[in-house]
Structure 1
Amino acid sequence: MAHTVLLVPVPALEPYVRARWEHYEPGWVSRDPAFTHAHVTALAPFLPDPAAADLAVLAEAAASVPAFDFELTEVAAFPDGVIHLLPEPAGPFSSLTGRLWELFPQCPPYAGEFADVVPHLTLDHTAAGVTVESVRADLAGLLPVRCRADRLELHHYAEGDCRVLASWPLGPSRSVDDLEADDATDQAEDQQDPHDADRLLA
C-alpha cells in the first residue's frame, strides 16, 4: 500500500540495507538516486498526500531542530523479529518524533500500534538463516558507524515508485562556545542590579 514516511537518512548503511530490499522486495527498491533505504524513522505513516501548507510546516520544524551526531553500534532484535540498530543517543530522535507528532496529531507514530516508540534503523528480520548473530557478523567490519543527522526527508513508498518527495536541512548545531556564551548571558542577567529594571520601566 502506498504511504509516506518522515525520516532521517543514514547513507553510511545504504549499501547493506538496499541489498536486503533487493533480496526481499525488489519491486520496492527505489530508482531515485536521492532515495536512502537506510534510515531512522521520524514519523510514519505520514499524510498520504501532504499539501503545500503541510510541507511549509515541516520545513519550519526541521529548521528548528539542531543537527546532531549519533552512533550505531549494537545489533539487536525486537520481539516481533525486526533486526535493527539503536542510535545513541536516542533522545534527539525521540524529541524529533514528538515534535512532528505534536504538529500533526492525526499521524501517531506507527498508527498508534506501539505504546513505546523506539528509534531504530531496520536491518533485516529473523528467519531461517537470518539471526542477530548472522547480521552482526555481516556488519562486523563496519560497526560502529558514526553518523550525523543533518536533514529530514519525506519519502513516498509504493511498489515501483519509491522516491524522495522533499528534503529539509536541520538547523545549525550548537557549539560548546555557543552554550558557554548563553550560560554567561544568563548569569549576567541573574546578577543584574534590580534598580536597572526599575529605570527601564520608568
Structure 2
Amino acid sequence: MSEADWHGHAVLQVAVPELEDWIVARTRHYDAGFVSGDPRFHHAHITVLAPLRSWDAKACARLAAATRPFDYRLERIAVFPDGCIHLPPEPDEPFRALTAAAWRAHPRVIPNGAPDPDPHLTLDRIGPGVDVGSTRVLLGSSIPVACRAVGLELVWYEAGDCHLIDSWPFGGREA
C-alpha cells in the first residue's frame, strides 16, 4: 500500500506523559500533520496493539478494568533491525501481557512485530544525521525516567486527524 492509499488506523496504547513534549517536538520535526490538536491525545506511547481497523471497545474496557497500574522505567536506547531507535520499557512483562490479552480479543489483527511484538516507545529512525548518539544528545536529561502505566487509550493515527477515540483507566488496586 502506498502512502497515498493509507487512510490511518487505530492504536491501543499506554500513554507516556513523561516524554510527551520530546515526542511532540520530534513528530513536528518530521511531519507536523501528525501533531494532534486533541489535548487528550498522547503522542508519546507504548503500543499495546496495532494496527486496528475495527475494535471491540467492551473487550478493551474489560482488559483495562482487569489490569493494575504498574511502574516501569525507560532508560536504555535500543535499535531494531529496521533502524527504529526506541526505548524498551523495563520491565516489559506487563506490556507483553497487555498485548497478548488485547490480541486474544482481536485475533484478526496481525500486530506490528508479530508474532512476538517488542514493547517500546519509538524515538526516531536511523538515517542521515540520525543515530543513537544524536538521539541520546537530543534526549539530554529526559532519560532515565520512571513512569507509571495507568490506563489504555484507543487513538486514531492519520495525517491531519490524530485524535483520542476512547480511554479506560486501569481498574486494579494501586500496587
| Whole-angstrom distance in 1 between the partners of 2:128 and 2:143 | 24
Task: Quote the residue 1:126 is aligned against.
Answer: 126
- Offset at 1:66? 1.0
Task: Quote the residue 1:22 is aligned against.
Answer: 28
Deviation string, structure 1 residues 95-142 (Cα, Å, up to 9, x no partner) = 0000010111011312xx543311000001111111101111222312
Task: Quote the residue 1:75 is aligned against.
Answer: 77
Structure 2 counterparts to residues 46-195 of structure 1, below 5 A: 46=52, 48-50=53-55, 54-110=56-112, 114-173=114-173, 175=175
**What are the ranges of 5 or more consecutive residues in structure 1 without an aligned counterpart?**
176-202
| Whole-angstrom distance in 2 between the partners of 1:154 and 1:170 | 13
| Whole-angstrom distance in 1 between the partners of 2:139 and 2:160 | 28
Q: Tell me which amino acid in the other structure corresponds to 2:9.
A: H
| Whole-angstrom distance in 2 between the partners of 1:89 and 1:140 | 22
Identity of aligned residues (%): 47
- How much is the aligned-residue C-alpha RMSD, in angstroms? 1.3
Task: Quote the residue 2:3 is aligned against.
Answer: none
TM-score normalised by the chain length of structure 1: 0.80
Task: Quote the residue 1:8 is aligned against.
Answer: 14
**Bigger radius of gyration:** 1
Task: Quote the residue 2:46 is aligned against.
Answer: 40
- Offset at 1:49? 4.1
CA 1:142 to 1:115, structure 2 compared with 1: closer, same or farther past 3 Å? same
- Offset at 1:174? 5.6
- Offset at 1:57? 1.8
| Whole-angstrom distance in 1 between the partners of 2:155 and 2:172 | 23
| Whole-angstrom distance in 2 between the partners of 1:43 and 1:116 | 11
SS of 1:44's equivalent in the other structure is: strand
Judge conservation of contact 1:152–1:167 (CA < 8 Å) in 2: yes
Task: Quote the residue 1:178 is aligned against.
Answer: none
SS of 2:27's equivalent in the other structure is: helix
Judge conservation of contact 1:68–1:173 (CA < 8 Å) in 2: no
Judge conservation of contact 1:9–1:38 (CA < 8 Å) in 2: yes
Q: Tell me which amino acid in the other structure corresponds to 1:80.
A: D
SS of 1:65's equivalent in the other structure is: coil
